[in-house]
Each structure stands twice: as structure tokens, then as C-alpha cells.
Amino acid sequence: MRHAVILAGGWGERLWPLSTRERPKQLLSLVGDCALVRQTLERVRNLVSMESALVMTGATLREAISRELPEIPSERVVGEPVGRNTAPAIALAASLVVREDPDAVLFVLPADHVVREPKAFSDALTLAAEAAEVERALVTLGIEPTRPETEYGYILTGPASSLPGVHHVERFVEKPDAATAGAYVEDGHYLWNSGMFVWRADRFLKEVEHRIPEVWNALQRVEAEPRDQDFNDVLAAYYDACPSVSVDYGIMEAASDVLVVPASFGWDDVGAWSAMPRIWPVDEAGNAARGETIVLDSSGCVIDSESGIVAVLGVDDLVVVRTADATLVCPKSRARDVREIVRALRERTV
């Protein structure tokens, strides 16, 4: 059976002040009219059963996520006591699902991405699931690039696989500099690494066993716990024992037989405020504005007001975001550095 594993950890600090630890990015409706995590679930509604979906999130967000996704049994919203990046979370999810369904195929999906063409997305996931089932391969979705983005990792595609529309992965490549990104887009064989994966749970766990033994060992201890053990204690021990490692670094870059489904479905990771002109309507001067705003003699700005009026006059390529608690102002080109503000705030409150 096919199951959804939704990765809803982290909080999207580069979208501060709208995104906060208490109200993280995945709970915001940056586009559309509901939270990104709900949009993520809606997109796979016809592909998996809601009852068997698993959501991996931070312990402090469990309640809020459960409220947002009432159709998912609350015990299937797993609250990580500490963040250990994606590999331990996916490994735990795989081990939980495989107990119930030894033939389980997992759709591993970040909770905070935007997909503008859900039908194309659903088709790509279905094709990937077939590849995972037929080839027993690790499968990833690769996005056909539309610009020389330097903030994404890339996937170099290799030869076609036996399944039409599916390719072997030649290799994963790190975030490139601008010139290299341009060359990748030019080349035509590079895809964006979307961070979305499809695989059999058992196959993935085999990879974990070989490539991240600390995580595997921690999983064995979870398995060994009596089933009536308090699950919070089990979780605490597991995450305590796991190193922090991403699935990209820990598994994908090292694994053989990785397949990729190249696709275009209006994907965006909305990683920073500079993404908004791609997902919000823009005026003729290139300003993307939301909420109560006054925009005079300005161009290329991203302006968001959640509360009160934001008025800008005579500025270009600026991000201005106002919430009930804070206002952010920075050039669009510095949008990735908003975490520096978050860090300064944290130091101030310590």
C-alpha cells in the first residue's frame, strides 16, 4: 500500500516575522487559503489513506498540526523532541509503517512547499510509486529548472530506465554558484532536487542500515522496546541516539540505483521572501503585495501586511513584512539572510 509521510519539522526562519517557532511556515497559508501542511495533505488525498498517513514534526508543534489535520489520527502526528534533520525522521517513519505494512511504499513530502499544478504532481508521484514498486529503487522527484537558481541542489540525470518517464540519477550536486547554475540550466540534463522521495519502506531501511548505522542502531532499540512503553520516552531515546543528518547527504548522494522522475508541476520551496513574486500576483511595476498596503513610486518589492497598513514610497527590490509583533525590512537580495535577524533576536532574549 502507498502511504504519505509528511515532513513538518523546522519552522522556516527565513520567513520571519510571519513565520515563527509558534506559528511556523507549514502552518501559514502563503498561497491559497489554507495552511501549507494542509495543502500538502490535500494533494495526496486521492493517492493514500488518511488513516495511514504519518506526520513528523517538532514536539511543540504536535497539537497545532493535529488541529490543522484532524483526519490524521493524532497518534500518527509524531513530535520530535529535538530536530535531527530528515534522515532520522524518515527512518523512524519507515520503521513505524513497515510494522503495519511490510510492502509499504512511502511518499516522503515536505510540508511547506507550493505546488501549483496538483494534477501533474499527482501523476509524477504515481509514476514514482510504480518505479519504487517495480524496480525496488529509491526514487526522487526532479523539477525541470526554470531559472539558474543557486539556492537549490541539482540532480544530473543519467540514462532512461526501463519505465518510460523515469531516469537513472547520475549524481546529486550541491547548490551551485550563479555561473554553474546557468550552465546546468543550459545543459538540460540537470533537475532541481525537490526533497520529495518515493520508496519502499523496507528498501529505505536497508539503506539506513548500511549507510547510517547510528540511526539503524537507534531504530533497533526502538524495535526492542515493549509495545506498551510510553512512546514519548521511546522517541526521546531514539532522537538522543541519532546524529543530525539529512537524507540527501546520508543516503541519496551515496546510494546506487537511485531513479528520478523529471517533472514540472509549478513547484516552489518558498524558501525566502524573495520567492513571493513567483507565487503572488505582481503589479505592473513588479511589486508582489498582500494585505493592506500603499505602494508609491516603488518597484520589484515584496510587501506583506498581516496587521495594519504598510506604506512604501520610492523604494525598489525591498522586502517589507509587517505582522502584529514585528516589521522586517531588507533588500530582496538579502532575503536569505533573515536568519541573521532571528539569531540576533534569540541572542537578545537569552
Q: Which residue has the cell 489520527?
A: 73
Q: Is 282 in the site for its own copies (CB under 8 A)?
A: no
Burial 263-274 (b: 16+ CB within 10 A, else e): bebebbbbbbbb
Cell, residue 100:
503495519
| One of 159, 226, 228, 344 touching its own copies (CB under 8 A) | 344
Q: How many angstroms separate the CA atoms of 221 and 275, rounded?
A: 42
Q: Provide the residue type at 57 as one letter.
A: T
Candidate ranges 153-161, 205-213, 276-284, 334-342; the one touching its own copies (CB under 8 A): 334-342
Three-class SS string for 217-250? HHHHHHHHCCCCCCHHHHHHHHHHHCCCCCHHHH
Q: Is 223 in the site for its own copies (CB under 8 A)?
A: no
Contact 167, 160 (CB under 8 A): yes
Per CB under 8 A, which of residues 2..31 are in contact with its own copies?
17
Candidate ranges 28-36, 184-192, 215-223, 327-335; the one touching its own copies (CB under 8 A): 327-335
Cell, residue 211:
549507510
Nearer Cβ to its own copies (100/297) = 297
Per CB under 8 A, which of residues 28..87 are in contact with its own copies?
none
Q: Is 294 in the site for its own copies (CB under 8 A)?
A: yes
Closest separation in Å from C-beta 295 to its own copies: 9
Q: Is 305 in the site for its own copies (CB under 8 A)?
A: yes
| One of 33, 75, 186, 325 touching its own copies (CB under 8 A) | 325
Alpha helices in 136-176 (DSSP H): none
Site for its own copies, rule CB under 8 A: 17, 294, 296-297, 305, 308-315, 318, 320, 322-331, 333-334, 337-338, 340-341, 344-345, 348
